[in-house]
Structure formats: C-alpha cells, structure tokens
Amino acid sequence: MARRVNLLGGAVFVAVLLVWELLVRTGILSFSYLPPPSDVAGGLGQLIGNGELGSALGHTLGAALAGWAIAGVLGVAAGSVLGLVRPVWTYSMASLEALRALPIVAFVPVAVLLYGFSVQTEIMVGCYAALWPILLNTISGMRTEARMVESGAVLRLSRAAVLWKIRLPAATPSIVVGLRLGLSISLVLTLVAEMVGNPAGLGFLLVEKGQALQPGQMFAAVFVVGVSGIVLNGLVLGAARLAFRGQLAASGEVA
C-alpha cells in the first residue's frame, strides 16, 4: 500500500467530477436524466434526511449478511467434508460444476416464484450466491499440502488434532478469500432480488427513484451501494487479520 498519499489521483478524480458538473450545467452533456454531481450530493442529503437511506441500507445489509452468514456456515461445513473425504468429492464434484454453470441471476426469478415478495427471497438468493465462492474456496483450501499433513502423522497427532491444528489453519487464507467474495456477491444478488422481487431495501430504492424520475437521489443510492461494498469487504478483511494473523501471514497477506 503506497505510503505517499496519491494526490495526483485524488486531483484527477476531483477534476473529473468538476468536468462532469460543467458539462451537464452548460448543456453540452445532456441526457434527459443525467444529473450533475451537485444534484447527486443534494440527493444524498435528501435521502439521509428523510430516513429513506437508513432504512433501505439497513434492510439490504441485514438480508445480505443473513444470507452470507448461512452460506458461510453451510459452505465451510460442506466444503470441509468435500475437501477432506475423497469419495464424497469424487461423487459430487461434477454435479457441483454442472450447477455452477447456471448463471446465478437466472435463479432470482425462481426464488421469487417460490418465496414471493418477501425478505426470504433475498436471503435465499444471497445465500445461494455466496455459497459458491465459499464452498469452492473451502474445498481447495482443505486439500492441503501432503507434506504438512505428514508432519502431523510423524508427530503422532490424532486425526482430530491434525484437522484442528494443521488442516484448518492451512485452509484459512482460502476460506477467508471465499468469505470476502461471498459477501460481495451476496450483496449484489440481494440487490437484484430487491429489484425483481421484494420491494424493499436499496435495490428497490434504486428502481423506485428511477421510476419517480429522481436521478439525483438514484445516483446517490448507487454511490452508497459502492461504498457499502468496500466497507464490508474491508471489515471482513480486518476481522480476519485480527483473528487469524498467523495463518494469513503465511500466505503473505499480512506483514
């Protein structure tokens, strides 16, 4: 990470915003509903002020996190079994790969069909989406370096000890990556579920503001979505670094 603050980059970013503002104000760039940055800022203020943003954000994050948490538990558990027990892997992997080919978005209408316009739809979709990276990363993480496992045998550790002391820590960096990816994906698919299914949360807010022809507020909501993603990702990474400092250091992620 660069110690020097990237002034040039920051300046360019601000410059782009200014040019955007100018182009829209002077009418050079005129789409019927393209707002200048000032309107976006204003929209953000309105959304925060009337509480719409807070409740929408809360709803979406809640659903996304719930789906992700469930996927985390299921994914790590199933992934561990698949990664550790060879016969299970042999007799399921191809099925998983076939299922994986199905684009996840296509499942959203299915979920809406089954669960209707409710938050369960969101959680189901978020969970299914997050399951994949978590599951796959756990599987690959569990297929540990043979030498490491051998050391466990050499030191006469019990199988449970080998699992707990060698395999799980070795798999941790992979699992953490899977969890991070899973969270991003859960967030995105939750948004989709809100746009297509359950009329609540940020996804619905986006669609609503679009239909209400409020581009300033809509862009502001998009901005919030982007920031949420970054923040969540950072939180997971930070928590992982705190909890698993040693394991992550080995994979070069932390000094």
Partner 1 sequence: MKGTPVRGLLPLVALLVLWQLTGDPASPYFPPPSTWVDGVAPLVDADKLLGALGQTSLTFLIGLAIATALGALIGTLVGASRPVDRALSPSLEFLRALPAASLVPVAALVLGYTAQMKLVVVVLPAMWPILLTCRSARRSLSPVLLDTPRTLGLSRWDRATKILTPALLPAVLLGVRVAAPLALIITLLVEIVTRVNGLGALLGAAQQNFLSAQVYGLLTIAGVLGFMVNWVVTRADNAIGRRMRGTA
- Measured from the CB atom, the residue of 165 and 208 that comes closer to partner 1 is 208
Task: Write out the two tokens for 2.
Answer: 């660069």
- Measured from the CB atom, the residue of 123 and 162 that comes closer to partner 1 is 123
187 near partner 1 (CB under 8 A): yes
**Contact criterion met (CB below 8 Å) for 21 and 38:** yes
96 near partner 1 (CB under 8 A): yes
CB atoms within 10 A of CB 31: 8
160 near partner 1 (CB under 8 A): no
- Distant-in-sequence, close-in-space partners of 125: CB < 8 Å, separation ≥ 6: 67, 104, 107, 108, 111, 189, 190, 192, 193, 197
Q: Which stretch binds partner 1 (CB under 8 A): 73-81, 136-144, 148-156, 222-230?
A: 222-230
109 near partner 1 (CB under 8 A): yes
**Contact criterion met (CB below 8 Å) for 112 and 196:** yes
CA distance 48 to 252: 40
102 near partner 1 (CB under 8 A): yes
188 near partner 1 (CB under 8 A): yes
# residues near partner 1 by CB under 8 A = 61
* Cα angle: 86, vertex 185, 42; to 5 degrees: 170
- Measured from the CB atom, the residue of 91 and 164 that comes closer to partner 1 is 91
- Distant-in-sequence, close-in-space partners of 110: CB < 8 Å, separation ≥ 6: none
Q: Is the dihedral of CA 95, 98, 104, 109 positive or negative?
A: negative
5 near partner 1 (CB under 8 A): no
- Distant-in-sequence, close-in-space partners of 39: CB < 8 Å, separation ≥ 6: 215, 216, 219
- Measured from the CB atom, the residue of 68 and 244 that comes closer to partner 1 is 68
Q: Which stretch binds partner 1 (CB under 8 A): 46-54, 88-96, 166-174, 243-251?
A: 88-96
Q: Which stretch binds partner 1 (CB under 8 A): 137-145, 149-157, 224-232, 243-251?
A: 224-232
- Measured from the CB atom, the residue of 184 and 247 that comes closer to partner 1 is 184
18 near partner 1 (CB under 8 A): no
Binding site for partner 1 (CB under 8 A): 6, 8-13, 16, 31-34, 89-99, 101-110, 112-114, 184, 187-189, 191-192, 195-196, 202-203, 206-207, 209-210, 213, 215, 218-219, 221-222, 225-227, 229-230
